[in-house]
């Protein structure tokens, strides 16, 4: 499904990013796993190869909040592969805080990673994809960015911005055959979800109509669809993967 394609996945060392790397490798892509910690990325590559022994993988250190780090990551891809077909902007952070308690540092860091990161990555990816004959940019947003949530105004705002970015880039890049879509996960079993309080966990679970949390694989499968030619006429869309969650 992705044979001979080159894909970059940010935040690829664990959770949704790692699950997506596995599915992309299974589909035949050359996968660049980007993240801030090289040992964790190397562990992730070993995990992928344990499932897909012949996987073509490159671990690359990249802090998406730092423009120069993003530049270096994409320059590596250009030097080694000379092309790019898929970008998954997955790296993200969540720090709960009531608006009266949110610090400037929390606000700046959240937007730097969750919003500026996808912008920086999309700048470079769109240029490489245009040279490669087109491609697919997939932004991992959140159901909180669509519907909001009390106590998550900073996080929700950063993810709502991602949705606006997605819709704008879809219009801008369509003439270059670059599709841009977003996935809006609900409550997914990741380290981020595990960090919340038991009370908040129960509240989240009670809000899911299907009665259970999602798996990283559920989001990875949606990303695989949006990366492949199965979605070749789809752009500017926000795909909810939330099990009927209501927030």
The Cα 234–Cα 179 span in angstroms is 7
Q: SS3 for 120-137, per residue?
A: HHHHHHHHHHHHCCCEEE
Query: Helix 15-26 crosses helix 216-227 at what angle (to 10 degrees)?
Result: 50
- 226 phi and psi angles, rounded to 5 deg: -70, -25
Instruction: Match 């970008």 to its residue by tokens.
Output: 87
Collapsing DSSP to helix, strand or coil, 179 comes out as strand
| Catalytic residue chosen out of the listed positions 124, 155, 201, 233 | 155
Q: Cα separation of 23 and 19, whole Å?
A: 6
Task: Give yes or no for a contact between 193 and 213, defined as CB atoms under 8 angstroms apart.
Answer: yes
Residue whose tokens read 């299907």: 210
Q: For this structure, is 233 an active site residue?
A: no
Are 29 and 21 in contact, with CB atoms under 8 Å apart?
Answer: no
- Determine contact, residues 25/55, Cβ cutoff 8 Å: yes
Q: Is the sign of the CA dihedral 38, 42, 47, 51 positive or negative?
A: positive
CA pair distance 131, 126, nearest whole angstrom: 9
| Helix, strand or coil, per DSSP, at residue 190 | coil
| Residues belonging to the active site | 155
């Amino acid at each position: 499904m992705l044979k001979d394609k080159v894909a970059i996945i940010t935040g690829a060392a664990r959770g949704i990013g790692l699950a997506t790397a596995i599915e992309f490798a299974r589909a035949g892509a050359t996968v660049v796993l980007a993240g801030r910690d090289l040992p964790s990325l190397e562990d992730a590559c070993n995990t992928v190869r344990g499932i897909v022994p012949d996987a073509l993988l490159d671990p690359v250190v990249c802090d998406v909040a730092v423009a120069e780090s993003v530049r270096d990551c994409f320059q590596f891809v250009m030097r080694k592969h000379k092309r790019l077909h898929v970008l998954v902007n997955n790296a993200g952070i969540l720090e709960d805080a009531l608006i009266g308690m949110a610090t400037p540092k929390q606000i700046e860091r959240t937007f730097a990673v969750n919003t500026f990161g996808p912008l920086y990555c999309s700048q470079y990816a769109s240029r490489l994809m245009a040279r490669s004959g087109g491609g697919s940019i997939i932004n991992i947003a959140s159901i909180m960015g669509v519907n909001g949530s009390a106590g998550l105004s900073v996080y929700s705002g950063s993810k709502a911005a991602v949705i606006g970015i997605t819709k704008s880039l879809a219009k801008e890049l369509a003439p270059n055959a670059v599709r841009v879509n977003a996935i809006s996960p609900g409550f997914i079993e990741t380290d981020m979800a595990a960090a919340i309080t038991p009370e908040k966990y129960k509240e989240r679970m009670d809000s899911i109509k299907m009665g259970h949390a999602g798996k990283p694989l559920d989001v990875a499968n949606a990303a695989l669809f949006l990366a492949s030619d199965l979605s070749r006429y789809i752009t500017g869309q926000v795909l909810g993967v939330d099990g009927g969650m209501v927030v």
